[in-house]
Amino acid sequence: MKDLPDAFHTHLAQTGPTPIALDIAHAEGCHLTARDGKRYLDLVAGLAVNNTGHRHPKVIQAIKEQADRYLHVIPYGEFIQEPQVRYAERLASVLPPQLNCTYFVNSGTEANEAAIKLAKRITGRTRLMACHRSYHGSTHGSLSITGNEEKKYRNRPLLPDVQFITYNDLAEVERIDAHCAAVILEAVQGDSGVRPPTAAWLQALRKRCDETGTMLVFDEVQTGFGRTGKLFAFEHFGVVPDILVLGKALGGGMPIGAFVSSRERMALFTHHPVLGHITTFGGHPVPCAAGLAALEVLLEEDLPENARRMGALFKELLVHPAIREVRGLGLMLAVDLGDADKVQRVVKGCLEQGVLGFWFLSCPEAFRIAPPLTIGEEQVREACAAVLTALG
Ligand code: PMP
């Protein structure tokens, strides 16, 4: 056998030329421990996944209990699997009444794919409107509505009849017309460097979609489950989507995605033709059990409130002449240095000090702060001190 780093670079398919390649031995709460024993304060949370912290005891217990009962038993939708049903029911209890029916899939990108299909079924239309600088996933449909040409050009042809509007541009709302099946947007743009929407823009979108019979789809894959300081980001703005797309923290650290709409709309998948969206592993009982336990933890420990408080503390402490702006809501933050090289230096400098930060796909001049929502004041102070030291 090769040594582990060698085997990693040789036999495991790579996504880029310079992976961090930390060899993780253990994770707990807000910390990762590498095999060499070095501990890291985690400001990434598996990319907005581990909202309840790594290995929360209640989540681990739910996983073990479900593993002792059954794992995969049948493709999605045929059997009554208690963790799926109870999770869908619980989601309905924390969402507005028109978002009462959940379809579980495997990932954020699959949830977006299926949301597109549902919008087409509901409206009988094909046109999709999405936003410049958006990110919705890496499969062909999600890539088609992603507003980043660099990620797309090698993959054409993509879906036809997709148009782009500018996030937060009120004038562009008028371009939505009765040919549009859906307008799809991130409730806060994430990978473009954390860009929150204005309430006025979202309200104008809601009004225009109502006028034209267009489905308003919010991708809350990254913003969901307390990340922005509310359970779901749309709650900040008083605008409810027709279809809500979920992923990442939905599974409490296990892989799963979902989209949520009304029972009547979701029922369209069951006829003409039947099996409108199908998946073998979607809604696997272990991620459902883990996700349900994580949601209860989020609510019991009021982690959205902690995200608000700790997010404010980051903004208060991260003051330095090199920091142009700390943007975002709750614990979905971008520290904008206005310079990609500086970002690389600071992320590396933090890592040396045992603090894990991370960059964005489409915003090289800023780095992200998105720790577990369980992070405490001491840890925020430690993280900010590391950033300021790295900045010099
Ligand atoms: N939508 C948004 C807003 C995302 O941030 C991501 C992942 N970063 C996705 C969709 C895709 O999710 P996944 O990687 O689970 O397919």
pLDDT single digits (tens) 216-238: 999 999 999 999 999 999 999 99
Residues 6+ away with beta carbon under 8 Å from 132: 147, 164, 165, 166, 167
Q: Quote the CA–CA distance of 68 and 64 in Å, as a whole number.
A: 6
- Same-domain pairing of 118 and 232: yes
CA 272 to ligand 1 center in whole angstroms: 30
Q: Which residue range forms the structural domain that includes residue 184? A: 57-300
* pLDDT attached to residue 8: 97
CA 37 to ligand 1 center in whole angstroms: 31
CA 131 to ligand 1 center in whole angstroms: 15
- Same-domain pairing of 15 and 50: yes
- Same-domain pairing of 252 and 340: no
Buried b (16+ CB within 10 A) or exposed e, 293-311: bbbbbbeebebbebbbebb
Atom 10 of ligand 1: nearest residue by CA position: 136
* pLDDT attached to residue 41: 98
- Same-domain pairing of 119 and 236: yes
* pLDDT attached to residue 225: 98
List ligand 1's pocket residues with C-beta within 6 A: 47, 107-109, 112, 135-137, 186, 190-191, 219, 221-222, 247, 257
CA angle 205, 237, 308 (to 5 degrees): 145
CA angle 242, 246, 251 (to 5 degrees): 150
pLDDT single digits (tens) 319-347: 999 999 999 999 999 999 999 999 999 99
Last residue of a domain, one of 281, 300, 319: 300
Residue among 219, 202, 77 at smallest CA distance from 141: 219
CA 271 to ligand 1 center in whole angstroms: 29
CA-CA-CA-CA torsion sign (127, 128, 131, 134) = negative
Domain count, the chain: 2
Whether the Cβ atoms of residue 115 and residue 87 lie closer than 8 Å to each other: no
Q: Quote the CA–CA distance of 168 and 61 in Å, as a whole number.
A: 43
Full-model pTM: 0.98
- Same-domain pairing of 154 and 37: no
Atom 12 of ligand 1: nearest residue by CA position: 108
Q: Give me the mean pLDDT over the 94-120 stretch.
A: 98
Q: Give me the mean pLDDT over the 106-133 stretch.
A: 98
Matching residue, tokens 């493709």: 75
**pLDDT higher than 90, residue 240:** yes
**pLDDT higher than 90, residue 271:** yes
Task: Provide the residue type at 281 as one letter.
Answer: F
56: left (phi over 0), alpha (psi -120 to 50) or beta: beta
Residue among 319, 330, 389 at smallest CA distance from 354: 389
- Same-domain pairing of 126 and 157: yes
Atom 13 of ligand 1: nearest residue by CA position: 108
- Same-domain pairing of 61 and 91: yes
* pLDDT attached to residue 361: 82
List, in sequence order, the alpha helices (H) in 70-161: 82-94, 108-123, 140-144, 149-152
Residue among 190, 168, 194, 188 at smallest CA distance from 233: 188
* pLDDT attached to residue 80: 98
Q: Which atom of ligand 1 is nearest to the CA of 189?
A: 3
pLDDT single digits (tens) 144-189: 999 999 999 999 999 999 999 999 999 999 999 999 999 999 999 9
Last residue of a domain, one of 275, 300, 325: 300
Burial class, 23, CB count within 10 angstroms (exposed 0-12 / middle 13-18 / buried 19+): exposed
Q: Quote the CA–CA distance of 275 and 65 in Å, as a whole number.
A: 31
**pLDDT higher than 90, residue 304:** yes
pLDDT-based confidence at residue 366 (cuts at 50, 70, 90)? very high
The rounded mean pLDDT for the chain is 97
**CATH code, domain with 13:** 3.90.1150.10
Whether the Cβ atoms of residue 44 and residue 373 lie closer than 8 Å to each other: no
CA 38 to ligand 1 center in whole angstroms: 29
- Same-domain pairing of 109 and 174: yes
Last residue of a domain, one of 254, 275, 300: 300
pLDDT single digits (tens) 8-37: 999 999 999 989 999 999 999 999 999 999
